Structure formats: C-alpha cells, structure tokens
Structure 1
Amino acid sequence: MTGKNQLPKINGQKQVAKSRLFAIEQLELTFSNGEARQYERMVGSGNGAVMIVPMLDADTFLLVREYCAGTHSYELGFPKGLIDPGETPEYAANRELQEEIGYGSKRLQFLSKVMMAPAFFNAKMDIYIATNLYPSTLEGDEPEPLEAVPWPVKDYQSLLQQPDFQEARSIAALMLSIDYFSSGKLIKQGEI
C-alpha cells in the first residue's frame, strides 16, 4: 500500500441512542473514492480510562476479582477505572489502586495506550505498572469489596489459562508487563 489513507468526510452526525454510560452516534461519511456509507459508533465519557499492573514486590503482582455485568460473571483482571474530569491519568491510576486493592503507589510507569474496538468505540486506556506500593484505602464506587489476588510473575502462563482471566485489556497489560520485565527496566534493587 502506498501513501497515507485520507480520512473520510463527515457529512452528518447525530445521536441515535443514549444511556447513562454511552451514546450511539450515526455518521454519514464520504470516502476519498466517492463511496458514501453510514457508520455507527459508541461514544464514551471522553476522559479515557486507566489500567494498572500493581507490583506487590519484584516477584508478585496483584489482580482483582470483580463482577462483570457484560458476562454476568466474576472475572480476574488488573485494577482499572475511568479518568474523572480534571484528573491526570496518573492521578486516576493511583486513585483506582486505593479504591480497588487498598494500596497507593509511589511510582507509576506508563507502559502503553490501548484502544478497545476502535472500529466502533472511541475508548482509550492508559496502562501503568505501579511499584513502591503503600497501604492506603479510598472509598470507591464498587457495590461490594473486590478480592485482591496476588499472582507470581513467573507463573504468568498459568494465569493465561485461567477460565476467569479473559479480558483482552488485562491480557494486553500482562503481556506488556512481561515484556517490560524481561527488558530489565523495572526490577532493580530498591525500585519495588
């Protein structure tokens, strides 16, 4: 493929549905080759979200088990949440840690930004590794206490086989973290 794709022209857009969390927008588009199409997309809060890989020590990260309405099941994953208006992603990450697992972090390392289903949804999530944890609790919006689950870093492959560890963003965060650890950038004496 040569050259850069030219974004289609938006000829019209309107909201066709709205809930407490999302809005669905209909787009009337014309592509550079003249082809006209109608697309729908979900529009989120616009502030983004964070996911955190908390390191209890150099050999152990913490996961949370929480209820997921989409699958009506309890799933294991990394702490996550929305970035509230006025918050930086780092502030939101530290707040979510305190709300979900009862720890704050003295060091947050940005790993990556990921998107969920960009063909239909504008949701972006910043992923961090949290080290130098200290006990600290904030009241969150969860309807019940979340279960914090320590997991050995060296046993990450068995985590990938767990039937309740299926969320794509958590899997991405795990693999990004493993890659980061294997590069030797994180685990230095006194960093965790």
Structure 2
Amino acid sequence: MNKKFEEKTLSSKGIYKGRIINVKIDEVQLPNGKTSTRELVEHPGAVGIIPITADNKLIVVEQYRKPLERSIVEIPAGKLEPGELPEVTAVRELEEETGFGANRFTYLQTIATSPGFANEVIHLYIAQDLYDIEEPASLDEDEFVELMAITLEEAEEMIADGRIFDAKTVIAVMWMRQNLK
C-alpha cells in the first residue's frame, strides 16, 4: 500500500458506539506537518451478492432506505457478523433476502463505499446456478423487501430513472453488461 500521503493519528476519541456503526474523531498529523481532525465512521463491512438466474436475469430486492428517505432497488446485501468470513455472509444473505442458494459463488471485488469518512468495504460475489431453498432463513425482523428478477435492459432503465441508485448495484449491472452478452 502506498503511504505517500499518510495521516498519522495523534489522538482518537470515540463519540458514539452503536449496533452497526461506531463514530470517532481523530486528530491527525498531515503530510505537511500540520494537524487536522477527521470524523470517522467504523463499520464491520458487508457483502453484496450478484445473483444471476439461468436465463441471465439479476435477482434484486426493493427496500426502503431511511438515510435516503425512499425505496431503492438493490442487489441482496448484508453486514458481516463478528468473526464471519465474507463468503459465509454471502451465502447467508442470499438465502435470507431471496430464498435462493447458489452452487457457484465467485468473488468479484471489494469496494470502499465512502472512503472520505467511513471504513466500510463491501465484498462483491457473483452467485450462479441458483436453486430454491425449501425453508429459507427469514429476513431480520426489521427488514422488508420485495423480490424481483430483472433483465439487463430493465436494470439499465432502473439506473436511468433512479430506482437503482447505489454503487454496488450499479457495479452489478456493469458486470452483467460486460459478461452476459
């Protein structure tokens, strides 16, 4: 890793400890020797799954996102549990959110979601050779989703009209465009 512009932490103060995130303020020494403060969100990380059906449709969920005050269409995703490997989270989240399992999971990429203030990364996996799970694990009690299977063309329309709005799902559609023609 290139540390050319590294900021050295001089002090760190936790200001919020939550169920999903922690927030802290760090005082840092900049590369030019001056100091500054950074407001940082700590997140355990997450996975996003790109489930592709046998007829090359993308399985997505529509759900309400409070920070955006609206519903958006997204690939299935979820946060890592303590000590859980991303590939285990991917299998669990695919089942919980869609009722599907996959015979083939392929790691695609890890992305930083908001590196200006958060350390959250999302590990992206492609799930293929899908099958129905007879009695799938249920969604979290505060999770409400509608399941859809959409074509590449429908996904691109949803990006254009803003129903698909998040980076991980846009990446999924870009992957489909490059790999499923």
The answer to whether TM tops 0.5 is yes
Compared CA separation, residues 92 and 13, structure 1 to 2 (3 A): same
1:172 alignment partner, SS class: helix
> Partner of 1:84: helix, strand, or coil?
coil
Report how far residue 42 of structure 1 moved: 0.7
Is the Cα contact below 8 Å between 1:22 and 1:42 reproduced in 2? yes
Name stretches of at least 5 consecutive residues in structure 1 with no aligned partner. 183-192
Identity of aligned residues (%): 27
Give the aligned partner of residue 176 of structure 1.
175
Task: Work out whether 1:81 is the aligned partner of 2:59.
Answer: no
- Residue 22 of structure 2 is matched in structure 1 by 23
RMSD between superposed Cα atoms in Å: 1.9
TM-score (norm 2): 0.89
Secondary structure at 2:47's aligned position in 1? strand
Partner of 1:165: 164
Number of residue pairs aligned between Structure 1 and Structure 2: 178
Aligned to 1:37: 36
Which amino acid is the alignment partner of residue 140 of structure 1? L
Moved more, 123-132 or 55-64: 55-64
Query: Aligned partners of 2:51 and 2:62: how far apart in 1?
Result: 14
Query: Is residue 111–residue 177 contact of structure 1 (8 Å, CA) maintained in 2?
Result: no
TM-score by length of 1: 0.84
**Cα pair 1:52 1:127 within 8 Å, conserved:** yes
With over 3 angstroms needed to count, the CA separation of the structure-2 counterparts of 1:164 and 1:23, relative to structure 1, is same
1:142-192 alpha-carbon deviations (Å, 9 max, x no partner): 53552111111354422322332111221122213433435xxxxxxxxxx
Q: What 5-or-longer segments of structure 2 have no aligned partner?
A: none
Letter in 2 for 1:83: L
3-state SS of paired residue (1:70)? helix
Contact 2:80 2:86 in 1 (8 A): yes
**Pair 1:124 & 2:88 matched:** no
Quick one: distance in 1 between partners of 2:83 and 2:180?
32
Distance in 2 of aligned mates of 1:24 and 1:80: 22
Asked if 1:114 is matched to 2:114, the reply is no
Secondary structure class of the residue paired with 1:75: strand
Kindly provide the amino acid, as one letter, of the partner of residue 161 in structure 1: A
